[in-house]
């Protein structure tokens, strides 16, 4: 029995079968009990325990073999993991070296760029020039101001006030540009106008200015030409000293002595009240404005336009202005119907006159034309247009 308990259960079953085959006389119950057995039989309990013990042993042996195999495989895995870690560390070191090289190259490139940008960033001269331009503009604005003057009836003119005409910060070209007057245009200067005596005749000058794009310059007072210039949108520029003029008010009718007349598109007022500036002091500045309009800035390729001084001659003070016009290479168109015109015509015909000797000498050398008393506004318009548009100065 001891050998059957410790042995293999399959061998035990075969031995029992051999015994029963050898003893056929035994009953079937004994055979069944011997082979299968009941739950309460002690014979069957012992072989079950042996089977269980053998199964347990086999399972323990398998576990041991697995543990031994795992233990044998673990160092191999560790070795493979160590190798993988070494490879990863090498890759990381390579990546870090590449990153460091890139960063170093970037830093070097930045340093080069910064070194290259050092002279470009030095913008001190530009700021200085910008500041000087601003200062010049501020000086110009302080030397003269430009505003709109509203007359009764809704007419507006550009008013430029110059407190100090002798200031070096005054630039006539800048005044004309901001006022909207284009340079390199013909000029018509009205000299010796007093009141509206010649209004019907001076309308012809407005027509000529309209057809030739000329700019008319006068003293800013009423002469009768303002309405025609306003209708035809001809630029009429008045230059006058502030000491000798009066500004219009809401209740004024334009009949006061020295009042600025409506219809002027532009007005230049010189000096201040109480400085004692007279009409003759504004003549030089008026001629400078005329020369700037006709000549422009005088660059290469610029052609000067014609300029004509129309001596109306109702005021004897125009002689000084006509003399300066001749010195500025302007032609004279003398109206014979006026007192000063008759005196000039008598001198040209060789008769006695009361003109100054300096003016007489200029009349002989200069370009002088006489408009007869019988002429009308249409004749005057055609004569002025002919001179400004077609006629050229003859060679001496």
Per-residue pLDDT of the chain (396 residues; tens, 9 = 90+): 444 444 444 444 444 444 444 444 444 445 444 444 444 444 444 444 454 555 555 556 665 555 555 444 444 444 555 666 666 676 666 766 666 666 666 666 665 655 444 444 444 444 444 545 555 555 555 688 999 999 988 899 999 999 888 888 888 989 999 999 988 899 999 999 988 989 999 999 999 999 999 999 999 999 999 999 999 999 999 999 999 999 988 887 778 888 999 999 999 999 888 888 888 888 999 999 999 999 887 766 677 889 999 999 998 889 999 999 999 999 999 999 999 999 999 999 999 889 999 999 999 999 999 999 999 999 999 999 999 987 655 444
The C-alpha atoms of residue 337 and residue 153 are separated, in whole angstroms, by: 34
- Nearest one of 304, 322, 300 to 312, comparing CA atoms: 322
User: DSSP strand E in 180-311: where?
Assistant: 187-191, 215-218, 236-241, 266-270, 307-311
The C-alpha atoms of residue 242 and residue 279 are separated, in whole angstroms, by: 10
The C-alpha atoms of residue 292 and residue 173 are separated, in whole angstroms, by: 7
Residue extents of the structural domains in the chain? 2-96, 146-389
Fold of 146-389: Rossmann fold (3.40.50)
Helix residue ranges, H only, 236-331: 283-295, 318-327
> Tokens 């003070």 sit at which residue?
317
- Nearest one of 2, 13, 9, 11 to 55, comparing CA atoms: 9
Angle between helix axes 318-327 and 283-295 (nearest 10 degrees) is 40
The C-alpha atoms of residue 163 and residue 144 are separated, in whole angstroms, by: 7
The C-alpha atoms of residue 91 and residue 88 are separated, in whole angstroms, by: 5
The C-alpha atoms of residue 360 and residue 352 are separated, in whole angstroms, by: 11
Name the burial class of residue 107, with classes exposed (0-12), middle (13-18) and buried (19+) by CB atoms within 10 angstroms of its CB.
exposed
User: DSSP strand E in the chain: where?
Assistant: 144-150, 156-162, 187-191, 215-218, 236-241, 266-270, 307-311, 331-335, 368-371
- Nearest one of 170, 148, 150 to 159, comparing CA atoms: 148
- Nearest one of 211, 169, 165 to 186, comparing CA atoms: 211
Contact indicator for 238, 267 with CB cutoff of 8 Å = yes
> Tokens 């309009």 sit at which residue?
293
Q: Which two tokens stand for residue 97?
A: 């070296």
The C-alpha atoms of residue 262 and residue 264 are separated, in whole angstroms, by: 6
**Is 0.85 surpassed by the pTM of this model?**
no
Contact indicator for 167, 142 with CB cutoff of 8 Å = no
Largest CA distance in the chain: 196
The C-alpha atoms of residue 241 and residue 260 are separated, in whole angstroms, by: 11
Q: In what order do the strands lie in the sheet with 156-162?
A: 144-150, 156-162, 266-270, 236-241, 215-218, 187-191, 307-311, 331-335, 368-371
- In degrees rounded to 5, what are phi and psi of residue 315? -120, 130
The C-alpha atoms of residue 169 and residue 265 are separated, in whole angstroms, by: 24
Residue 154 has what DSSP assignment?
A: S
């Amino acid at each position: 029995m001891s050998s059957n308990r410790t042995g293999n259960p399959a061998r035990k079953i075969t031995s029992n079968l051999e015994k029963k085959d050898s003893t056929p006389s035994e009953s079937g119950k004994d055979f069944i009990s011997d082979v299968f057995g009941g739950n309460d039989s002690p014979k069957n309990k012992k072989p079950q325990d042996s089977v269980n013990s053998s199964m347990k042993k086999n399972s323990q042996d398998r576990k041991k073999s697995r543990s031994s195999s795992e233990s044998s495989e673990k160092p191999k895995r560790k070795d493979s993991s160590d190798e993988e870690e070494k490879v990863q560390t090498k890759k990381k070191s390579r990546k870090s070296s590449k990153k460091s090289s890139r960063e170093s190259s970037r830093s070097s490139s930045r340093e080069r760029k910064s070194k290259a940008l050092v002279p470009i960033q030095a913008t001190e001269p530009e700021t200085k020039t910008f500041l000087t331009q601003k200062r010049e503009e501020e000086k110009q604005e302080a030397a003269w101001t430009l505003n709109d003057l509203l007359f009764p009836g809704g007419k507006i003119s550009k008013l430029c006030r110059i407190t100090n005409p002798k200031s070096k910060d005054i630039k006539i070209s800048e005044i004309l540009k901001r006022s909207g007057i284009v340079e390199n245009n013909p000029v018509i200067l009205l000299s010796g106008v007093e009141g509206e005596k010649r209004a019907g005749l001076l309308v012809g000058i407005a027509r000529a200015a309209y057809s030739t794009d000329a700019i008319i310059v006068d003293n800013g007072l009423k002469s009768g030409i303002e309405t025609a210039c306003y209708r035809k949108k001809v630029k009429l520029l008045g230059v006058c000293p502030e000491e000798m003029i009066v500004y219009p008010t809401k209740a004024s009718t334009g009949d006061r002595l020295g009042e600025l007349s409506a219809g002027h598109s532009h007005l230049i007022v010189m000096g201040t009240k109480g400085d004692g500036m007279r009409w003759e002091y504004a003549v030089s500045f008026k001629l400078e404005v005329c020369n700037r309009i006709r000549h422009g800035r005088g660059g290469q390729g610029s052609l000067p336009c014609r300029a004509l001084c129309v001596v109306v001659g109702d005021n004897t003070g125009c002689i000084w202005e006509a003399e300066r016009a001749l010195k500025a290479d302007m032609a004279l168109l003398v109206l014979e119907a006026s007192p000063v015109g008759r005196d000039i015509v008598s001198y040209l015909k060789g008769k006695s006159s009361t003109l100054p000797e300096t003016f007489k000498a200029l009349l002989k050398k200069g370009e002088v034309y006489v408009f007869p008393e019988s002429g009308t506004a249409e004749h005057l318009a055609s004569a002025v247009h002919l001179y400004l548009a077609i006629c050229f100065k003859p060679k001496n």
